[in-house]
Amino acid sequence: MIPMVNPALRVLPEIILTLFGILVMLADAVMAKASSRKPLGWLAVLGALAALAASLWQNRLPAGDAFYGVVRTDAFSVFFHVLIAGIVLASLLIALDAVSDTTEGLGELFALILFGAVGMMFMTSAVELLLVFIALEISSISTYIMAGFRRKSAKGPESALKYFLLGSFATAFFLYGIALVFGATGTTRIPEIASAIAAGHTPAIIYIGLAMLIVGLGFKVSAAPFHVWTPDVYEGAPSPVVALMSTAPKAAAFAVLLRIVYGAFPLLHDHWTPILWWLAVLSMTIGNLGALRQRNVKRLLAYSSIAHAGYLLVAFAALSADGIAAASFYAVAYAIMNVGIFAVISHAGGYEDRLTLIDDYRGLAWRSPLLGGVMAFFLISLIGIPFTGGFFGKFYVFVAALHSGLIWLAIIGLVNSGIAAWYYLRVATAIYSRPSESSPVHSLPRPSLALLLALVITVSGTLILGIFPGGVLSSARAAAATYTSVSPVPSSSGTSAADTTAQH
């Protein structure tokens, strides 16, 4: 018997973040108009730390559902909760460093980051598609707003509007997918969908429904060909926001995708693995080739994030516990190094993007060996050189793929990661070139405590993942192992969904 757990404890990190979010908003309202809003940022940091601690603590809860089987806490949800809390923590620190006391709407920004995190966390623990949808909307709407936070710049509102319109379009696909799946199986609970399919409820519309869910999530993780919004939005959004939105919502969306394909549709893997195979190939190729011709660093990193979504999808297609673990591990490795590089970018470029083109970064390492070195370090990790998280992430992914016989996918991925070195090195070379007299890197602000903290977290995280990946890897494997329990064992239909997953 599973002991009774107070349902509130199963959503403790979400509750904490919500409370802190409200606290930040209230404090923002009562504070004197002219006073600095930075203390609110530290309050939010505190909230993120508390949520992180609560997420870690949830590891001690026995796995189980709450609120009528809508939310589930298990090794998988805890894994992604910790990741999201960590990203939010680092992003808040980055934001604290980049903004000035007079930046408009700071209190709202910090509150929105926390509220968005609530949505992302619910995405990873929800086992009911309607809650997934609501969580996805909470996360998306707060990111839409944050993307347009620089109201005075032309690109800010444009970026937000574009993100909002296209995002809503994609969400519609997701919602319609839920409706079709409900029509086919009579349920929107993920485990029950799996058992309905196992019981033989597979009308044609279920495939359409599944494909629509993949379209919606493909947009959120910016997998090609649903990636078109990414470069424009990253370019227009403030860098600290990009640090967050290029990692946390994506990690959450990947978690949802894992839950859906492995939790609800393991028996239909014949149908979804080829789709993910193609998404992986397209994302890697379009992402890397697209990045080759970029001159703007944030656009370049946008394409790079598309490519990384592709590497991650390679692990999905592997259709094995190793694949799930590799995907989860890669989500962590990618998030840490990407947040790290955006920490440097948002400090060097500032909230208002003083540096935009690769050429603007010329001489960064001359001006500040610390920032330049750290940026080069993250570029090295993005390339995938050993001793960094980026290397082991890719390594696991390709091992999992080859183990499942996906030889072509692994080769395409390796060739792609070779091409990727080219554009990352372009940035690295610029950083270490001698700056011109008029170069914008001469006016770098002093690194703040918040930035140093963010850099310590991300650099040490990337190094630990590269040198001692054991801890995170075993958590990822524990998360992957939950998929034998998520799938129910129907008594009538012979093979259980769990067995099917295990066989591959």
Q: How many residues of this chain bind another protein (CB under 8 A)?
A: 91
Pick from 62, 203, 369, 445 the residue near another protein by CB under 8 A.
Answer: 369
Q: 72 or 394: whose CB is closer to another protein?
A: 394
Whats the size of the chain, residue-wise?
504
Binding-residue pattern over the window 83 to 122 for another protein, x denoting contact by CB under 8 A: ----------------------------------------
Partners of 72 in beta bridges? 65
The CB-of-225 to another protein minimum distance in angstroms stands at 4
Segment lying near another protein (by CB under 8 A), choices 129-137, 343-351, 412-420, 456-464: 412-420
The CB-of-118 to another protein minimum distance in angstroms stands at 27
First-residue to last-residue Cα distance in the chain: 30
Retrieve residue 12's tokens. Answer: 């403790």
The CB-of-312 to another protein minimum distance in angstroms stands at 17
Q: Rounded to 5 degrees, what are φ and ψ at 180?
A: -65, -40
As a whole number of angstroms, the distance between CA 495 and CA 490 comes to 8
* Residue in 230, 228, 218, 224 with CA at minimum distance from that of residue 338: 230
Handedness of CA 119, 122, 124, 126 (dihedral sign): negative
Q: 62 or 369: whose CB is closer to another protein?
A: 369
Pick from 19, 130, 134, 211 the residue near another protein by CB under 8 A.
Answer: 211
Pick from 136, 146, 215, 497 the residue near another protein by CB under 8 A.
Answer: 215
| Cα separation values, 491 from 195, 197, 484, 488, 497, Å | 10, 13, 16, 9, 11
Segment lying near another protein (by CB under 8 A), choices 28-36, 111-119, 131-139, 218-226: 218-226
Q: What single DSSP character describes residue 263?
A: I
Pick from 22, 26, 199, 414 the residue near another protein by CB under 8 A.
Answer: 414
The CB-of-56 to another protein minimum distance in angstroms stands at 22
Classify burial at 2, counting beta carbons within 10 Å of its beta carbon; exposed 0-12, middle 13-18, buried 19 or more: exposed
H or E element that contains 65:
strand 64-66
Instruction: Considering only residues 320 through 339, tell me which ones interact with another protein, judged by CB under 8 A.
Output: 321-322, 325
Considering the rule CB under 8 A, would residue 22 count as an interface residue with another protein? no
Considering the rule CB under 8 A, would residue 391 count as an interface residue with another protein? yes
Considering the rule CB under 8 A, would residue 402 count as an interface residue with another protein? yes
Pick from 165, 199, 449, 456 the residue near another protein by CB under 8 A.
Answer: 165
DSSP-assigned states of every residue in 167-230: HHHHHHHHHHHHHHHHHHHS--BHHHHHHHHHTT---HHHHHHHHHHHHHHHHHTT-TTS-TTH
Considering the rule CB under 8 A, would residue 225 count as an interface residue with another protein? yes
As a whole number of angstroms, the distance between CA 381 and CA 272 comes to 30
Provide the residue type at 490 as one letter. P
Instruction: Considering only residues 139 through 158, tell me which ones interact with another protein, judged by CB under 8 A.
Output: 152-155, 157-158
Provide the residue type at 425 as one letter. L
Instruction: Considering only residues 34 through 53, tell me which ones interact with another protein, judged by CB under 8 A.
Output: none
The CB-of-192 to another protein minimum distance in angstroms stands at 22
Considering the rule CB under 8 A, would residue 385 count as an interface residue with another protein? yes
Binding-residue pattern over the window 230 to 269 for another protein, x denoting contact by CB under 8 A: -xx--x----------------------------------
Considering the rule CB under 8 A, would residue 3 count as an interface residue with another protein? no
Taking the mean position of all CA atoms in its chain, how far away is CA 114?
15
Considering the rule CB under 8 A, would residue 2 count as an interface residue with another protein? no
Residue 11: other Cβ atoms inside 10 A: 21
Q: 122 or 351: whose CB is closer to another protein?
A: 351
Q: Are the C-beta atoms of 326 and 395 separated by less than 8 Å?
A: no
Q: What single DSSP character describes residue 266?
A: G
As a whole number of angstroms, the distance between CA 324 and CA 261 comes to 11
